[in-house]
Amino acid sequence: MLATWLFIVPLLSFFSFSVVAGARTFNKPDYEGAVRQLPRDKPVVVVPAAPQDNDGNGLLQSFTERHFVCSVTAGELVRIQTRYRTSRFTVGHGNHSVDVVSVYGANERDLRSYLGDNGVRWVLVQLASVFFLPFDPHGS
């Protein structure tokens, strides 16, 4: 009986480890959800979040970079584009799409100080996750 337990316990441990290690999580930024919280009639920019000095999540933060989206006026967008390198991408927003301007060389803290606090609304972009196990339970 002891020999059976010495065989079963390591085998179950190995199986459990392989299932957990093989499980995958795909994280993708949910820009559409964040843009939905902003006014529709203003340009939208996205920047990385400023690094936190002592947030206690250093290891977690190194795997996931957080981003903020904000709506700005047309004049503020021109100021941003003259100072920083930018690019554009499109996000679906209801029945229409919204152009989002990515800002490079700045983070959210830099842009806040550059634009000032004149009613600019910042929204943290959440990560949409999909988790699945690497095997088919039906055995097909």
pLDDT at 4 over 90: no
CB 8 within 8 A of CB 72: no
The answer to whether 52 and 118 have CB atoms below 8 angstroms apart is no
pLDDT value of residue 15:
73
Highest mean pLDDT among 14-18, 97-101, 125-129: 97-101
Q: 106 with 86: CB under 8 angstroms?
A: no
Q: What confidence score (pLDDT) does residue 42 get? A: 87
Residue 62: the pLDDT is 46
SS3 29: strand
Q: Which tokens sit at 6?
A: 């010495």
Closest to 69 (Cα-Cα) out of 95, 26, 36: 36
The structure's pTM equals 0.62
pLDDT for 103 beyond 70: yes
Residue 34: its pLDDT value, please? 83
Question: Could you read off the pLDDT of 112-139 as tens digits, one per residue?
Answer: 888 887 666 778 787 665 555 555 556 5
Rounded to the nearest 5 degrees, what angle is found at the Cα of 90, between the Cα atoms of 87 and 93? 140
Model pLDDT for residues 44-87, shown as the tens digit of each residue: 898 888 886 545 455 445 445 788 888 888 898 999 999 999 99
